[in-house]
Structure 1
Amino acid sequence: MPRTSAGLLMFRRSGDTLEVLLAHPGGPFFRNKDDGVWTIPKGEAEPDEDLLNRARTEFEEEVGIPANGDWIDLGWVKQKGGKTVYAWAFEGNLPDNFQVCSNNFEMEWPPRSRTMQSFAEVDQACFFSLEEARLKLKAAQTPFLHRLVEVLKQGARSSEQGSKEQRDDR
Structure 2
Amino acid sequence: MTPAAAAKRSAGLLLFRRTDRGVEVLLGHMGGPFFARRDAGAWTVPKGEYEPDEPAWDAARREFQEELGLPPPDGEPVPLGEVTQTNGKIVTAWAVEADLDPTAMTPGTFTMEWPRGSGRIQEFPELDRVEWLDMDRARAVLIRAQTEFLNRLEEHMR
1:85 is matched by which residue type in structure 2? V
2:16 is matched by which residue type in structure 1? F
CA distance in 2, matches of 1:117, 1:37: 20
1:57 is matched by which residue type in structure 2? R
Q: Does 1:136 pair with 2:141?
A: yes
Deviations 1:21-71 (A, max 9, x none): 001111111110111210000000101211011001111111221112110
Q: Which 5+ residue runs of structure 1 have no aligned equivalent?
A: 154-170
Deviations 1:51-98 (A, max 9, x none): 011001111111221112110000000111111100000011113x72
Q: Which residue of the other structure, out of 52, 56, 60, is the alignment partner of 2:65? A: 60
CA distance in 1, matches of 2:140, 2:104: 23
Q: What residue is the counterpart of 2:3 in the other structure?
A: none
Q: Which has the larger radius of gyration?
A: 1
> What SS class does the counterpart of residue 82 from structure 2 fall into?
strand
- Is contact 1:100-1:123 (8 Å) kept? no
Q: Which 5+ residue runs of structure 2 have no aligned equivalent?
A: 1-5
Q: Does 1:47 pair with 2:43?
A: no
Shift of 1:16: 5.2
Q: Which residue of the other structure, out of 12, 16, 29, is the alignment partner of 1:11? A: 16
CA distance in 2, matches of 1:124, 1:16: 22
Q: Sequence identity of aligned pairs in percent?
A: 47
CA distance in 2, matches of 1:14, 1:119: 32
TM-score normalized with structure 2 length: 0.92
1:144 is matched by which residue type in structure 2? F
1:63 is matched by which residue type in structure 2? L
CA distance in 2, matches of 1:99, 1:125: 10
Q: What residue is the counterpart of 1:113 in the other structure?
A: 118
CA distance in 1, matches of 2:76, 2:87: 31
CA distance in 1, matches of 2:103, 2:42: 22
> What SS class does the counterpart of residue 142 from structure 1 fall into?
helix
CA distance in 2, matches of 1:85, 1:46: 13
1:45 is matched by which residue type in structure 2? Y
Q: What residue is the counterpart of 1:79 in the other structure?
A: 85
Q: What residue is the counterpart of 1:127 in the other structure?
A: 132
CA distance in 2, matches of 1:123, 1:100: 10
Q: What residue is the counterpart of 1:159 in the other structure?
A: none
What is the RMSD computed on CA atoms of the aligned residues? 1.2
> What SS class does the counterpart of residue 28 from structure 2 fall into?
strand
Q: What residue is the counterpart of 2:100 in the other structure?
A: 94
Q: Does 1:21 pair with 2:26?
A: yes
CA distance in 2, matches of 1:147, 1:103: 28
